[in-house]
């Protein structure tokens, strides 16, 4: 299945869609992941993955544009939310070189950046090893993608 938006909904109590991400969830604050919650997953969902990506970053990393802030996977189908600073799932490698959430930290004076938090619904349970890059994760899960949707927040230094 090609990557396409589904009717699944993704929200955060920390910020509204297109709203400012609180400093607490950035590299200038406590650098903890925001709480997220989703609903209306496609029928047949057996697992989830979550990604946070900044397409406005002026960098080319690992052959792709933007900057990857979070890669999280091996989330079971019963998961419909993540608490702030979650330790659920398995961490993949972000562009900071760490297997955890790394909050927004755009270059000083670079303007407003958009941060895309994605939830991906999969038709199978995954048990992938820690530390996969976004590209490696997508290679494994793309054939099992049932649906996805995003929540976009903003941040500016």
Rounded to the nearest integer, the mean pLDDT of the chain is: 92
The CATH number of residue 17's host domain is 3.90.280.10
pLDDT of the residue at 134: 93
Could you tell me if residue 50 is inside a domain? yes
Q: Total domain count for the chain?
A: 1
Q: Are 4 and 30 in contact (CB under 8 A)?
A: no
Q: What is the pLDDT of residues 91-139, one digit of tens each?
A: 999 999 999 999 999 888 888 999 999 999 999 999 999 999 999 999 9
Could you tell me if residue 46 is inside a domain? yes
Could you tell me if residue 2 is inside a domain? no
pLDDT of the residue at 1: 41
Could you tell me if residue 82 is inside a domain? yes
Could you tell me if residue 24 is inside a domain? yes
pLDDT of the residue at 4: 67
3-class secondary-structure state, position 151: strand
Residue 77: give the domain boundaries. Answer: 9-155
Could you tell me if residue 27 is inside a domain? yes
Q: Are 96 and 143 in contact (CB under 8 A)?
A: no
């Amino acid at each position: 299945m090609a990557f396409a938006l589904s009717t699944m909904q993704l929200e955060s109590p920390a910020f509204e869609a297109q709203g400012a991400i609180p400093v607490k969830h950035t590299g200038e604050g406590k650098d903890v992941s925001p709480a997220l919650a989703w609903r209306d997953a496609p029928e047949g969902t057996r697992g989830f993955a979550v990604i946070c990506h900044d397409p406005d970053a002026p960098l080319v990393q690992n052959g792709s544009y933007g900057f990857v802030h979070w890669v999280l996977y091996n989330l079971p189908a019963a998961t419909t939310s993540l608490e702030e600073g979650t330790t659920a799932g398995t961490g993949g490698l972000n562009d900071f070189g760490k297997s955890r959430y790394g909050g927004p930290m755009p270059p000083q004076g670079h303007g407003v950046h958009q941060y895309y938090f994605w939830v991906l619904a999969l038709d199978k349970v995954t048990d992938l090893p820690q530390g996969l890059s976004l590209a490696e994760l997508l290679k494994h899960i793309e054939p099992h993608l049932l649906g996805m949707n995003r929540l976009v927040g903003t941040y500016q230094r």
